[in-house]
Chain A
């Protein structure tokens, strides 16, 4: 392989990862543990950044560094146009996604919203929804939201559609195509960060801290 420069050769191993990043995927410990570990290395990130420079892209991550994605390096008019459109789409999907998180938490009796690495099975939801008419109705409303876009009135078909859309959007990972269980990816962290960001920027009256004084009373 004498025709390759050292720079090119060293980047060959990142080929599949670069392809996923360029395609707009979010890389986290759940979606690709090996790649995620390598992305935590400063030198690797610098090399990838250098490689992406001609494509006007660079690596970016959320504050806690639980998920990596590509950002524009230089924001020209076209990039801003695309970001505005994308932001509009994300904001439109915010309510259905937050409602889904709430539904998961309540249906499965969990302590918090679904977190990266958690396992979700459509079967668990259908059994809970069968027992609980309230959950059933909420799921039905949610599934018919344009974001999820289910046309069906069958519970299983609705769940299937909801999980399918979440998988398509990278919030869930299906390790085996023929098995109905899903892993929550760290893209959910990104979504929650974004919700928090919007709250802070717009000064929305939404409090995420426990009421103060609660602990001192005890």
Chain B
């Protein structure tokens, strides 16, 4: 086919393209298996089909002995179609596109100056496609970055991987921004000259789109940095929690310094004691008394308990009798203590008597009863005894005195 028949060339490209695109659909399952695994399984493919796929550069064979794999561009296409963020590529190469744009503008001008209308149209079409591709590459990259960001890099499971993916994304943004910086609109203005169609495509249109990309990239960059700070904080917390828990497990007796006793108490440790803002019904404020009266009336009445006629009489006194019986036993034991003092004629410690006699009373109850017994004696009998208390002050700050023991002796 010669250049003299450009229409014929075009139609041949189109028909071959349609044939080859159809191959993608026809062998979709084998190709997806190749995407998911390392190699394309050959079981379902005939030799002819395989050769066609190789000729269309959909598949390739890295070495003669090895298996057949997806061509990188096809893998990229599938990743792009699936928004598969773990495999999506970001193409930040602007320099080559700019080179191409420059040379396309040159051919376009030559065609225009030579009056070759069809060729001029073709060049403009290619220019438009290249500008669209450039835009599309930024738009795809930004889309991919947002998806990764919004999904918290959920396509990798470990925090360490997320941090690395975030770093990779941030580097991609830097490359994309560097690429944007290569586009020099002064140069493009000069390049397009006075041609209206070119000016619209390469100056006003492109500038507007690139400004949008720039804003999006800056925003996604800011959010990535924020997310990274969160990842790092999580990582640091996770390590701290694990490390401290491990340390405390290994050192069960660990006691940190008493920070509350320092001259300067650390802010974290200074937590004031809780204070309950208590309130009670008060009748000294006349207007309130009516409200209080109403509240009183609204109080639920205690439900009258049904009285089981037979059981009620027995159950309550039984408990009272039990308590009274214990009280009587205590009183008798204490009286034994008093008699022991009278019989022995010597002073006796109440606690020693309690321990030696193997009585079951708690010390507190015992001492209380010994003192109560003394105070309950008629004054004339009280004079016959002397009860002395061994006591100490409970605290420097009040006058509460603790009684440790009492000694009873005859006066």
Quick one: given A113-B237, A196-B240, A218-B164, are A83 and B245 in contact (CB under 8 Å)?
Answer: no
> Counting CB contacts under 8 A, is A131 at the interface?
no
B268 adjacent to A57 (CB under 8 Å): no
B270 adjacent to A60 (CB under 8 Å): yes
Give chain B nearest CB distance to A108 CB in angstroms: 13
Quick one: given A87-B258, A102-B242, are A204 and B270 in contact (CB under 8 Å)?
Answer: no
Quick one: given A91-B255, A98-B248, A195-B240, are A19 and B272 in contact (CB under 8 Å)?
Answer: no
Provide the residues of chain A in CB contact with B233, threshold 8 Å. 112
B237 adjacent to A112 (CB under 8 Å): yes
> Counting CB contacts under 8 A, is A129 at the interface?
no
Q: What separation, in Å, do the CA atoms of A209 and B160 have in the docked complex?
A: 12
B-contacting 9-mer, from A30-38, A69-77, A147-155, A158-166: A69-77
Interface size class of A (residues with CB under 8 A): 35 or more
B270 adjacent to A72 (CB under 8 Å): yes
The B interface is mostly helix, strand or loop, or mixed, namely helix
Give chain A nearest CB distance to B337 CB in angstroms: 40
B236 adjacent to A87 (CB under 8 Å): no
- Neighbour of B260 across the interface among A57, A87, A190, A205, CB < 8 A: A87
Quick one: given A112-B159, A205-B247, are A86 and B271 in contact (CB under 8 Å)?
Answer: yes
Q: What separation, in Å, do the CA atoms of A60 and B268 have in the docked complex?
A: 8
Provide the residues of chain B in CB contact with A44, threshold 8 Å. none
Q: What separation, in Å, do the CA atoms of A22 and B274 have in the docked complex?
A: 6
A62 adjacent to B268 (CB under 8 Å): yes
> Counting CB contacts under 8 A, is B238 at the interface?
yes
Chain B 211-258 interface residues, beta-carbon cutoff 8 Å to A: 231, 233-249, 255-258
> Counting CB contacts under 8 A, is A121 at the interface?
no
- Residues of B whose CB lies within 8 Å of any CB of A are 157, 159-160, 162-164, 167, 231, 233-249, 255-261, 265-277
28 A–B contacts from the bound complex (CB under 8 Å): A23-B274, A23-B277, A24-B272, A24-B275, A69-B271, A71-B267, A71-B270, A71-B272, A75-B265, A75-B270, A83-B260, A83-B270, A83-B271, A84-B261, A87-B256, A91-B256, A98-B248, A102-B241, A102-B242, A105-B241, A112-B233, A112-B235, A198-B256, A199-B244, A206-B239, A206-B244, A207-B239, A210-B160
- Residues of A whose CB lies within 8 Å of any CB of B are 18-19, 22-24, 55-57, 60, 62, 69-72, 75, 79-80, 82-84, 86-87, 91, 94-95, 98-99, 101-102, 105, 109, 111-113, 115, 190, 192-199, 201-202, 204-210, 214-215, 218
